[in-house]
């Protein structure tokens, strides 16, 4: 009996030691680059990789993978410097109960630089997200490839890039840039569905300020070269920017609530207490009496969506068109709308690209699209023509024409020229096309049309005035289009929410058959 008791005591002590050693190793891994580097990270106004993940995911839902992975490099003395995790934290958790995979670059470990082992951790998470058909979120705060590993690091990048492409259109991929993102690191976010940045703390560029100065002799700061302002207003690389880590991560949780888990699940639905039959009488006076006076299209969107909840995409870029996600009867809907407050809502190259990408995203993930139209045409001028307006405009036309999701269009005022066709008209695939009584559908405005048609009467103001009135009466109303069936119904503005909600409910099980093709050839 004595020997048995002794053996049992030894066994329990041994297990206790093993568990303590496990906790010690976990604690060491959680420290990343150590207390000093964590303090430096906080000193820059940034959270650590693990703190970011805790904010993004539901409380205590994170399951970490590969906590103890280390690099295998022996060049340049690297074998003497090994830190568990190797600069990236990976795993999965939930956002409001829905599974989400995540990786977060850890700037405190080798500056978050990508090694072969580091890449393998990300690849594993990408593969699992694709198998599970769940969204993946990448949190970037890193200095690019680990130079000491050379081509092994570059090979790791290539493996990550390939998986970005394979997953595209199958699962939502979101990139949040929370610090530096340079060199090869930028191309993975560039192939994801959305990129968001943190103001004054994050930047993206292929080559940094030092290289730029050496090669082109330009002196530029990191912020001027690739900061959040540059990428949200000029390059359109980023879809939005936030003031700090906390706001950015909370907004990512909000975005994920709008997105389906994959391309087969369909748009998510959340409980809504906003009556779909709600009317808003203020919409009856939204359109000014003067047809050349602007109004805010965003007001219409906010009054139509459930509870005024609208997540705008690329708010600071090409402001003459609005894109974003809202809900109707609790179900996610994509919105595309001309904005008369900016350039009269005209379509230009930037607006066309912005809207085309958003339409294609919605179509890939079976999110219905509502289009609010008030467009006087395409922007004229040499700058637009030299900048490829024809090809960029064709992208939006192509995107709407290839879309198989429910398409509901409401013309609130102007629908002139080729822009009428492009904005989800009945002719390119619109399922339900409504117009307000204030709608004007024509090849061009009355004044310009009359000056062309009745050029011989240009010296007679009375005749021109009469001809202009005649043209306005004939074409500047929705009824000519309605007579031909191009408009399904002329609706009262105050009933817009109810009519759209009913149309989307009717279109819920829409099926479209298209001829087989390997893929299309959109005019890139």
183 part of the active site: yes
419 part of the active site: yes
* Two structure tokens written together for 371: 């289009």
**205: alpha, beta or left? (left if phi > 0; alpha if psi -120 to 50):** beta
Q: Are strands 407-416 and 432-435 parallel, antiparallel or unpaired?
A: parallel
Class of residue 261 by CB neighbours under 10 A (exposed 0-12, middle 13-18, buried 19+) = buried
Nearest to 261 by CA among 167, 368, 165, 176: 167
Task: From the candidates 33, 112, 179, 183, give the one annotated as an active-site residue.
Answer: 183
150 part of the active site: no
Chain mean position to CA 492: 32
33 part of the active site: no
Task: From the candidates 387, 418, 429, 448, give the one annotated as an active-site residue.
Answer: 418
Task: From the candidates 29, 238, 349, 419, give the one annotated as an active-site residue.
Answer: 419
Cα separation, 236 vs 363, in Å, equals: 21
Nearest to 228 by CA among 248, 250, 256: 248
**By the 8 A CB rule, do 368 and 500 touch?**
no
Beta bridge partners of 138: 103, 175
Class of residue 207 by CB neighbours under 10 A (exposed 0-12, middle 13-18, buried 19+) = middle
List strand residue ranges (DSSP E) for 185-274, in order: 194-198, 203-205, 240-242
How far CA 299 is from CA of 282, 323, 348, in Å, comes to 10, 14, 22
Nearest to 441 by CA among 392, 390, 373: 373
* Two structure tokens written together for 103: 């990786």
- Using only C-alpha atoms, the chain has a radius of gyration, in whole angstroms, of 28
**323: alpha, beta or left? (left if phi > 0; alpha if psi -120 to 50):** beta
Q: Hey, CA dihedral for 75, 80, 81, 82, is it positive or negative?
A: positive
Cα separation, 27 vs 32, in Å, equals: 9
Q: Which residue has the tokens 């409001």?
A: 96
Task: From the candidates 111, 184, 226, 227, give the one annotated as an active-site residue.
Answer: 184
**By the 8 A CB rule, do 399 and 359 touch?**
yes
Beta bridge partners of 95: 98
Q: Which residues are catalytic?
A: 183-184, 418-419
């Amino acid at each position: 009996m004595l020997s048995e008791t002794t053996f049992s005591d030894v066994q329990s002590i041994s297990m206790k030691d093993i568990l303590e050693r496990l906790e010690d190793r976990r604690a060491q891994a959680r420290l990343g680059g150590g207390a000093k580097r964590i303090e430096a990270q906080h000193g820059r106004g940034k959270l650590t990789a693990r703190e970011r993940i805790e904010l993004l995911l539901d409380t205590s839902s994170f399951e970490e993978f590969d906590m103890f992975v280390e690099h295998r490099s022996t060049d340049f003395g690297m074998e003497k410097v090994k830190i568990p995790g190797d600069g990236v934290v990976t795993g999965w958790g939930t956002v409001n109960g829905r599974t989400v995979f995540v990786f977060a670059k850890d700037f405190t470990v080798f500056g978050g630089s990508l090694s072969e082992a580091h890449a393998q951790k990300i690849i594993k998470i990408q593969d699992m997200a694709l198998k599970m058909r769940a969204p993946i979120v990448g949190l970037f705060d890193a200095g690019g490839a680990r130079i000491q590993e050379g081509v092994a690091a570059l090979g790791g990048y290539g493996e990550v890039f390939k998986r970005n492409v394979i997953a595209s259109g199958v699962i939502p991929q979101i990139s949040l840039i929370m610090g530096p993102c340079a060199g090869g690191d930028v191309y993975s976010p560039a192939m994801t569905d959305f990129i968001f940045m943190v103001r004054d703390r994050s930047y993206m560029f292929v080559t940094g300020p030092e290289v730029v100065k050496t090669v082109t002799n330009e002196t530029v700061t990191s912020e001027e070269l690739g900061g959040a302002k540059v990428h949200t207003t000029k390059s359109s690389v980023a879809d939005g920017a936030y003031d700090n880590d906390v706001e950015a991560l909370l907004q990512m949780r909000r975005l994920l609530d709008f997105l389906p888990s994959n391309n087969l699940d369909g748009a998510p639905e959340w409980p809504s207490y906003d009556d779909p039959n709600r009317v808003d009488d203020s919409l009856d006076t939204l359109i000014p009496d003067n047809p050349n006076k602007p109004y805010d299209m965003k007001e219409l969107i906010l009054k139509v969506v459930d509870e005024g909840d609208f997540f705008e995409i690329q708010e600071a870029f090409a402001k003459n068109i609005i894109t974003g996600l809202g809900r109707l009867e609790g179900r996610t809907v994509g919105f595309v709308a001309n904005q008369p407050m900016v350039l009269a809502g005209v379509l230009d190259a930037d607006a066309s690209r912005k809207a085309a990408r958003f339409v294609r995203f919605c179509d890939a993930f079976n999110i219905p699209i509502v289009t609010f139209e008030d467009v006087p045409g395409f922007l004229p001028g040499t700058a637009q023509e030299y900048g490829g307006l024809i090809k960029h405009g064709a992208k939006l036309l192509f995107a709407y024409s290839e879309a198989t999701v429910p398409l509901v269009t409401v013309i609130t005022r102007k629908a002139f020229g080729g822009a009428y066709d492009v904005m989800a008209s009945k002719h390119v695939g619109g399922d339900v096309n409504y117009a307000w009584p204030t709608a004007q559908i024509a090849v061009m405005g009355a004044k310009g049309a009359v000056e062309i048609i009745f050029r011989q009467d240009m010296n007679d103001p009375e005749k021109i005035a009469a001809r202009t009135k005649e043209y306005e009466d004939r074409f500047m109303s929705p009824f000519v289009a309605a007579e031909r069936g191009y408009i399904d119904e002329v609706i009262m503005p105050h009933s817009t929410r109810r009519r759209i909600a009913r149309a989307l409910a009717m279109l819920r099980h829409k099926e479209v058959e298209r001829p087989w093709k390997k893929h299309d050839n959109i005019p890139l």
